[in-house]
Structure 1
């Protein structure tokens, strides 16, 4: 029943069951999901909210009718009847909403995807409002693992990868970009994987296709001029390569010290 309802909902909302892997070799694709305890914690939060709403509904409509004291001027019988019908309707709607809100918690957990390749990472979540962020390793600046007391108790943590520049199809989040692997139970493994992929990326001298074409064009011009390194275009290309190398080195050093 759950899988059938999920398939129908995905079809109605035109949301693919799985995201496409970002740019990279097929053999390098690694897929991660939120930890099971993350789902259980979300259920505990959902149950607490529903319990509070239920007590408020029952207290509002049933309390005055059950605990009422004799009054000198009691309300008309028709008003009490309307109050009773309204209360019954509200309670009925609340009961009917329970499986819907529970299903939303389940589907939000199952539609949370974290994908890493040898060139990019991608984070996608949501089904009513889909949020997808893709970041290339050329733009990654910082990798951090964070966990609060409750997360540590549940064996969960968040892996946060930030980038100060645009590009890579990243969704802008204020002054920087941040991809968050939220509620994972293998945070250190994800961090080490990303650091290893960054090291391979640096050693291979990879970059964005636009950067490769620009650097190749600059190299061709410099070669035609007899290797005149003082050309402005050559100097600009050298500065770009140096800045990218420094960024990757800083990321690797911070990751190794985390």
Structure 2
């Protein structure tokens, strides 16, 4: 008989609290969100994926574990019926194989969730993930080319989406041609994707405006237009001579 899910859940939570403290202390994993040097701290917004993202990850975890444990359990029953002694002797390791991966996978999912941070400052955004290898992606708003929202049917059920931020930059290829070198940052499992997209776009617009500087002012409507005037008598005589010469050439 399969171990009740609540028993596995309580055991996993107990193990996770101890493992989380051990891992963060041993690997020196920062518990606080990333910071920005020189950024205005009052305008920094830090957040994690929505709780629906954790349930989303657990769904695929339980599907995989159910299939794996189901096959292993049926195999053990067949072994127990065919070779009772071997089935009894292998009962403990087989059940350990069915239970321990549940706990390990549960801990891994929570570690992934708890170490994911999304931080937006007034000049750039930063995404951090990882325990063993901490991966941080920093994107300045001025380099953003596109911000899009992606949501699959399962994500829709859990009320989450991914916000994809794409950038592009210029570079030179092997033969001197211009190529586009871009990368992307993905904010996974957020519950308010439209708000986050609009916030990023507003910061992008503010960064663009700040980078362009003051726009030149258009001439005032009442400003007089300078007009050339002929006030001196030599100028008038010169124009008369040019007129007379033009008339003489036309008559020839």
Name the TM-score, length of structure 2 as normaliser: 0.67
Per the alignment, residue 12 of structure 1 pairs with 26
Per the alignment, residue 40 of structure 1 pairs with 55
Per the alignment, residue 217 of structure 1 pairs with none
User: Is 1:55–2:70 an aligned residue pair?
Assistant: yes
User: Is 1:126–2:111 an aligned residue pair?
Assistant: no
Per the alignment, residue 194 of structure 1 pairs with 200
Equivalent of 2:169 in 158, 165, 178:
165
Q: How many residues align?
A: 190
1:123 deviates by 0.8
Per the alignment, residue 189 of structure 2 pairs with 183
1:15 deviates by 1.6
Once the two structures are superposed, the pairs formed by residues 141-156 of structure 1 within 5 Å of their partners are 141-156=145-160
1:115 and 1:123 in contact (8 A); partners too: yes
User: Is 1:109–2:113 an aligned residue pair?
Assistant: yes
1:116 deviates by 0.6
SS at 1:20's partner residue?
coil
Per the alignment, residue 41 of structure 2 pairs with 26
Equivalent-residue separation in structure 2 for 1:81 and 1:165 (angstroms): 67
1:119 deviates by 0.7
1:61 and 1:84 in contact (8 A); partners too: no
Change (3 A) 1:53 1:156: same
SS at 1:114's partner residue?
strand
1:188 deviates by 0.7
1:4 deviates by 4.4
CA RMSD of aligned residues (A): 2.6
1:87 deviates by 4.6
Equivalent-residue separation in structure 2 for 1:99 and 1:29 (angstroms): 36
1:159 and 1:191 in contact (8 A); partners too: yes
Post-superposition Cα deviations, 1:92-134, rounded to whole Å, max 9, x if no partner, equal 2332332222121112111111111011101112223332211
1:123 and 1:181 in contact (8 A); partners too: yes
Unaligned runs of 5+ in 1: 69-74, 167-173, 208-258
Post-superposition Cα deviations, 1:168-192, rounded to whole Å, max 9, x if no partner, equal xxxxxx9521000111001111111
Post-superposition Cα deviations, 1:8-61, rounded to whole Å, max 9, x if no partner, equal 211122221123223521112011211111111211211111111111211222
SS at 2:118's partner residue?
strand
Change (3 A) 1:155 1:27: same
2:151 and 2:161 in contact (8 A); partners too: yes
SS at 1:150's partner residue?
helix
